């Protein structure tokens, strides 16, 4: 019997997106993903091409740049009917230095700044980028739930979390997605993929092609790696990143292997 593989997934039960999206980390300065993308207009053209090719889910983060990825996505995709996701709770003031702050006031301020940078009245998916060791995850998620209740964000996601942390968060608010590193060579979160699928939670693997976040290039063949992911579980939404229109189109051709 032939297995039917859905090409879309409803994040949070209502936000329908294509299961091969676009990760925006590379649309920043180099080295270290710091500063704005050096060829801004080429980045705009790439994002236009991705949307025209059928990409409906774009994933960013405050720490990418910082702020640069949110801004280029906001400029390129203003008025487009696509889903935008970003993350907060992690900042990168100078190159190579990461700060983590999951406090209520910081997260709410970052959500307001993301609304401006993404040029949206509501953010489709706002994710806690990393659990703050100084702030209980319940406090961070309560802040995101506050923003969800007042309409600033539609859905809450978590990144870099364990199953126990996910369960703690679920005790505070509905969680629509988990974003952890996962690919065909790095399967340490196999159990969490299945657990989120059972819970109706999207799993958004970063590093889907096995790339080092601070370096260009990837270990895995794009079409094969992405096809493996979308076949692995129906709740997986892959977010390969690239600065090349040709590579973006090659990523979308993963469906030919499914």
Question: Which positions are annotated as active-site residues?
Answer: 64
Q: Which long-range contacts (CB under 8 A, 24 or more apart) does 248-251 make?
A: 248/22, 248/46, 248/49, 248/50, 248/53, 248/55, 249/49, 249/53, 250/222, 250/223, 251/20, 251/222, 251/223, 251/226
The SS3 call for residue 23 is: strand
Closest CA to 115 of 151, 141, 139: 151
The SS3 call for residue 95 is: coil
Bridge-based pairing of strands 83-88 and 123-128 is parallel
- Residue 256 is classified by DSSP as G
- To which H or E segment does residue 231 belong? helix 222-232
């Amino acid at each position: 019997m032939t297995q039917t593989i859905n090409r879309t997934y409803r994040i949070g039960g209502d936000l329908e997106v294509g299961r091969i999206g676009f990760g925006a980390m590379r649309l920043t300065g180099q080295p270290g993903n710091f500063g704005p993308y050096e060829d801004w207009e080429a980045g705009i053209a790439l994002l236009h091409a991705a949307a025209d090719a059928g990409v409906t889910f774009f994933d960013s983060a405050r720490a990418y740049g910082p702020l640069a990825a949110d801004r280029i996505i906001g400029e390129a995709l203003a008025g487009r009917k696509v889903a935008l996701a970003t993350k907060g709770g992690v900042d990168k003031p100078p190159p190579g230095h990461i700060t983590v702050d999951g406090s209520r006031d910081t997260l709410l301020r970052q959500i307001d700044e993301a609304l401006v940078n993404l040029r949206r009245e509501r953010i489709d998916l706002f994710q806690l980028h990393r659990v703050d060791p100084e702030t209980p995850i319940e406090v961070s998620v309560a802040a995101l739930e506050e923003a969800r209740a007042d309409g600033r964000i539609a859905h809450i996601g978590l990144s870099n979390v364990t199953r126990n942390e996910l369960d703690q968060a679920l005790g505070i608010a509905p969680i629509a997605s988990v974003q952890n590193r996962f690919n065909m060579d790095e399967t340490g979160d196999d159990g969490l993929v299945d657990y989120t699928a059972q819970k109706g939670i999207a799993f958004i693997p970063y590093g889907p092609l096995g790339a080092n976040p601070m370096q260009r290039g990837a270990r895995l063949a794009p079409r094969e790696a992405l096809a493996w992911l979308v076949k692995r579980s129906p709740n997986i939404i892959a977010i390969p990143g690239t600065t090349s229109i040709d590579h973006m189109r090659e990523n979308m051709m993963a469906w030919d292997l499914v």
